[in-house]
Amino acid sequence: MMRAILLVDHGSRVASANEALDTLAEQVRNRLPDRVVRIAHLELARPDVDEGIDACVAAGATEIVVHPYFLGPGRHTSHDIPRLVEAAAARHPGVRVRLTPALGPHEKLVDVIIERVAGVS
Sequence spans of domains, the chain? 3-118
pLDDT of residue 5: 98
**Fold adopted by 3-118:** Rossmann fold (3.40.50)
pLDDT tens-digit readout, 58-91: 999 999 999 999 998 899 999 999 999 999 999 9
pLDDT at 98: 96
pLDDT averaged over every residue in the chain = 95
| CB-based burial label for 112 (10 Å; 0-12, 13-18, 19+) | exposed
